[in-house]
Chain A
Amino acid sequence: MNDSEESWKKLVEAARKAPPEPEEAPPAGFASRVVALRDAIAAFARTLMWRRWSVLAALGCLVLFLAVLAATKCSAPARPLIEEPNSDLSGSIRP
């Protein structure tokens, strides 16, 4: 141990002889302020949770809508590009 470190040790040993600082009571109303803060945090957490569920529900609806849309498109009969001429009308035309 060098001289400087020895000096530090001496200072620490001397400082330890100081009587412990008297315990100070927490400031008045501290518990009430913390309880109020906790309520605010809990309310914020609830808001966040509802927002999260709302976003999830909206996404779920969108996925469901797209799925239904895709399903109906697949099951609908394919329409011909050019419709058959009406046979009833073709007989009534005179040359």
Chain B
Amino acid sequence: MNFKEFQNQSRLYVIGALEPEEVEEFEKARKKFGKKAEDYIGECYGLHEAFALSLRPAKASGAIKGRLMAMVRARKEA
């Protein structure tokens, strides 16, 4: 696999769309390309941000934040 092919596969990898047999080959290439590969995969995760930001924000129940913060403070004090 050359680096251009690795880039293509990386974009599929970060959204979980590689088939198991492709993941094996991808991981081999990932080791071969080392830091360059890790940097590129890191950039591809920006797609996750973008897909989430493409959605219209939804209103969460007002009670959630209160429950969450109570749990967090209890966890911290425990």
Do A and B assemble together? Answer: no
